[in-house]
A and B are shown apart, each in its own frame.
Chain A
Amino acid sequence: GAVVSQHPSRVICKSGTSVKIECRSLDFQATTMFWYRQFPKQSLMLMATSNEGSKATYEQGVEKDKFLINHASLTLSTLTVTSAHPEDSSFYICSAANRGRGEKLFFGSGTQLSVL
């Protein structure tokens, strides 16, 4: 099956710093990538949708200036949490889709962000 690589798997940072999370599709071209966050024992909440070469579409309530998403190529999307605060601590997961391969989404392994 298709593989989506997400890096880093875990990051601890100080409050006020920025953190970048990478999501790569390893064996297919991801026309669309999605970013989710998940709090403990809660479901995945969609943050934003990004299509290669265009601006990301953010869900209601998600600050686009705080969560910067770049989808510069068909195999890479990045999420940058700017000026992170403790309330941004969460599990962030990316997923990738290629419409030519059907509707199935492939998920990364997630990034646990802890902001001190």
Chain B
Amino acid sequence: EDQVTQSPEALRLQEGESSSLNCSYTVSGLRGLFWYRQDPGKGPEFLFTLYSAGEEKEKERLKATLTKKESFLHITAPKPEDSATYLCAVQDDDYKLSFGAGTTVTVRA
């Protein structure tokens, strides 16, 4: 069974204070690892897909990296608008996603 563990559960940052979120996973036949952002009361918003170890992707202040066992989402110089819950998910060959519980990030001005 695919398993995804995210840490920490919650992260409180000062504006401009960079940090990283961790996503550890076990999966048989990884098709891709996904990062999503979810705001309260809304569906997940796609951020990145990573397919192989060593891959990196960036979008504005976010950078995602992937190894064979985990992925990191780095937030550089965050702003209050980066406050959200960040979800990690692994996808198997049937396109089925298994989600982690998420990391709730709060950025204070």
Contacts and interface: CB of A to CB of B under 8 A. Distances in A.
Chain B's interface size range is 20 to 34
A49 B96 contact: yes
The prevalent SS among residues of B at the interface is strand
Contact of B42 (A44, A49, A109): A109
Contact of A44 (B41, B44, B94): B44
B76 interface: no
B54 to A, nearest CB: 19
Nearest to B85: A41
B49 to A, nearest CB: 6
Given A32-B95, A97-B95, A105-B95, A43 B100 contact: yes
A105 B43 contact: no
B95 A107 contact: no
